[in-house]
Chains A and B, each alone.
Chain A
Amino acid sequence: MDFAIFLVQLLNGLQYGLLLFLIASGLTLVFGVMGILNLAHGSMYMVGAYLVWYFFQLTDQFLLSALISAALALGLGVLIEKTLIHRLYKRNHLDQVLLTIGMIFVFNALQSILWGDDPLGVPVPELLSGSIHLTELVEYPVYRLFVAALCLLLAGALYLVINRTRIGMLIRAGESNREMVECLGVNINQLYTLVFGAGVMLAALAGVVAAPMISIVPGMGEHVLITCFVVVVIGGMGSIKGAFVAALLVGVVDTFASVLVPGVSSMIVYILMAVILLIKPEGLFSSQK
């Protein structure tokens, strides 16, 4: 493999990893702060992609559609938390699994009713549709770089929110000791709603920005969900930092595996996870004791 191809693969891997982080951060936040295992998180990614496709059909404006989609996703997250998740904090993981599997069913059905089962696509926005030359022969699409940059930006923003704000302080407290946050008592309901809504929005946003790069198909949520689980587990449940490192690791490993060892490429991520859990059963950056 020459250097240029290596570079392209590395960029692909990092960009995929960053996208994974966007989704996984919501998953790990919701678990870390609220102790909720949300299996329907992947569906939010799917919802984001379908929403942006729908609004793009209506408005023909990618940015506008993206913003509307993100706002709707936030609303959806808040709605779900207020109506359903809210009543499940005191229940065990099994009930959460059951509820969120039910939600997967509903979202899949709604997707099929509203938008059908055919693969859909969103064109890359005009402004970002070009490519840049890495070397004389190898080009790299600008949009992918844009996505990577955007994800990094969001990761940075998330970092600032978590480390510099009061809400962030509560979230960090939740990461290390969930019971303690419950004891703080202050507006805990609002915090939960906010975190869940933000988690849903991040996942939907990942779906939105991914939409021009992939074909939008039914079941896309479940596939990404499992990969995100792997990320969250490798990183350590509830740890944002862990999710970031693990997402990049998974992204790069997965991308290179599909080039170097195509035969076992779909297994490689799971092997990675099994190996890491064997060494560190609680993940790389586990904060929950």
Chain B
Amino acid sequence: MFFLKKAENWFVWIFFPLALLLPLFLEQNEFYVNKLTSVVIFAMFVMSLDYLVGRCGMITLGHSMFYGLGGYLFIMIAPEYEAVNFWVYTFYICVIAALIALVVGVIVLRTSGIYMIMITLAIAQMCFYFFSDSVEFGGNDGLFIFTKPDTSLFGLSFFNLDDPMHFYYFCLLSLFNCLVFWKVVTGSRFGRIMEAVKDNPARTTALGYNVFLFRLISYCMASALAAYAGYLFALQYGYVNPSMMSWQTSGTALVMSILGGMGSLYGAILGTVVYEGLHYTFEHLTQHWLLLMGSMIIAMVMLFKSGLAGVIDNLVERRK
């Protein structure tokens, strides 16, 4: 019921079953399962950015700050040698990230357009240097997570974080939930006004809506989910490091999101998968995969105006 557009429907029905089956063929190889997991996690991050940029019109180059914070927050608030409850800490991290986003948002959302790109970048860089310069947080090398949280809920343990397969399926479920969540948000009354704010802020103000508040709430939600993705990433590899917050992470996510088709939400998954797939392929072809990747991106901008989702939309609509 959420996936109204035909192309979207197709994608969901092809991608998720495929993603469910894929690890069965890869069971011997933990490396590939881990790789898939990190792609799925990153797709969640990209999706939150996609919502922010594509659905709210707030272009940020500092979103990686929250991705990184997701990991660092866990290290900061969780005791080092004691397994804490996964769900409780998920909640904590999302709430704290949203609160940080609230403060940052009040500053950042005073600006728009190119200034917003810049100031988000500056704040993320500040955060990046704070962690990469601090001895306490391991500087450039980051920190290890010694004790992974315990995932039991009401005394029942559904899955084990140390098992790559369990973790993969959990992340896949999270990704699906994220997609549904964002679809619900964009299809809600809140989403209607957010869309209006994006298309025409002046008109929306004149109709009596507090544009700033709508933007702020969206910013907080997207930041909380970015932090959630970062938290999962940190748990997967058992460490955090400042490169998670580097501007390159934001840049890459933005590229994936645009590649997939800005604002289409499912395009975030598509963009991440395609980008990572190309990355992997090129990396195996040549040591200079950046050259191929860069040329690919340039060709992409020149040829398609609305990303891969736009291409698929066109194909599907034409078949109809």
Interface size grouping (class) on chain A: 35 or more
Contact call A281/B115, Cβ cutoff below 8 A: yes
The smallest beta-carbon distance between B260 and chain A, in angstroms, is 12
Contacts of A110 in B (CB 8 A): 291
Contact call A109/B291, Cβ cutoff below 8 A: yes
Tell me if B202 is interfacial: C-beta within 8 Å of chain A.
no
Of the listed stretches B39-47, B118-126, B174-182, chain A binds B118-126
When each residue 292-320 of chain B gets 1 if its CB lies under 8 Å from chain A and 0 otherwise, what string results? 01111110111001000000000000000
Chain B 225-265 residues near chain A, CB threshold 8 A:
247-248, 251, 254-255, 258-259, 262
Contact call B301/A263, Cβ cutoff below 8 A: no
Known interface pairs A108-B290, A109-B290; A94-B59 also in contact (CB < 8 Å): yes
Contacts of B111 in A (CB 8 A): 277, 281
Tell me if A173 is interfacial: C-beta within 8 Å of chain B.
no
Contact call B133/A274, Cβ cutoff below 8 A: no
Contact call A109/B288, Cβ cutoff below 8 A: yes
Complex alpha-carbon distance, A281 and B116, angstroms: 10
Contacts of B117 in A (CB 8 A): 37, 93, 97
Closest A residue to B299 by beta carbon equals A102
Tell me if B110 is interfacial: C-beta within 8 Å of chain A.
yes
**In-complex Cβ contact of A233 among B122, B133, B259 (8 A):** B122
Complex alpha-carbon distance, A95 and B310, angstroms: 14
Contacts of B184 in A (CB 8 A): none
Complex alpha-carbon distance, A87 and B302, angstroms: 8
Known interface pairs A94-B262, A98-B255, A103-B294; A282-B115 also in contact (CB < 8 Å): yes
Contact call B297/A102, Cβ cutoff below 8 A: yes
Contacts of B121 in A (CB 8 A): 226, 229
Give the dominant DSSP class at A's interface.
Answer: helix
The smallest beta-carbon distance between B111 and chain A, in angstroms, is 5
Tell me if A4 is interfacial: C-beta within 8 Å of chain B.
no
Tell me if A266 is interfacial: C-beta within 8 Å of chain B.
yes
Complex alpha-carbon distance, A274 and B297, angstroms: 32
Q: B122, B130, B262: which has the most chain A beta carbons within 10 Å?
A: B122
Complex alpha-carbon distance, A84 and B302, angstroms: 8
Contact call B115/A93, Cβ cutoff below 8 A: no
The smallest beta-carbon distance between B152 and chain A, in angstroms, is 40
Contact call A98/B247, Cβ cutoff below 8 A: no
Contacts of A112 in B (CB 8 A): 288, 290
Contacts of A84 in B (CB 8 A): 298, 302
Contact call A102/B59, Cβ cutoff below 8 A: no
Tell me if B206 is interfacial: C-beta within 8 Å of chain A.
no
Tell me if B17 is interfacial: C-beta within 8 Å of chain A.
no
Contact call A105/B294, Cβ cutoff below 8 A: yes
Complex alpha-carbon distance, A101 and B53, angstroms: 17
Q: Which 9 A-B pairs have the closest CB atoms?
A: A105-B294, A102-B297, A109-B291, A106-B294, A109-B290, A266-B129, A102-B298, A270-B126, A233-B118
Give 27 CB contacts A-B under 8 Å.
Answer: A87-B302, A93-B117, A94-B258, A95-B301, A97-B117, A97-B251, A101-B297, A102-B294, A102-B301, A103-B294, A105-B294, A106-B291, A109-B290, A109-B294, A110-B291, A229-B121, A229-B122, A233-B118, A264-B129, A264-B133, A267-B126, A267-B133, A270-B125, A273-B122, A274-B122, A274-B123, A278-B107
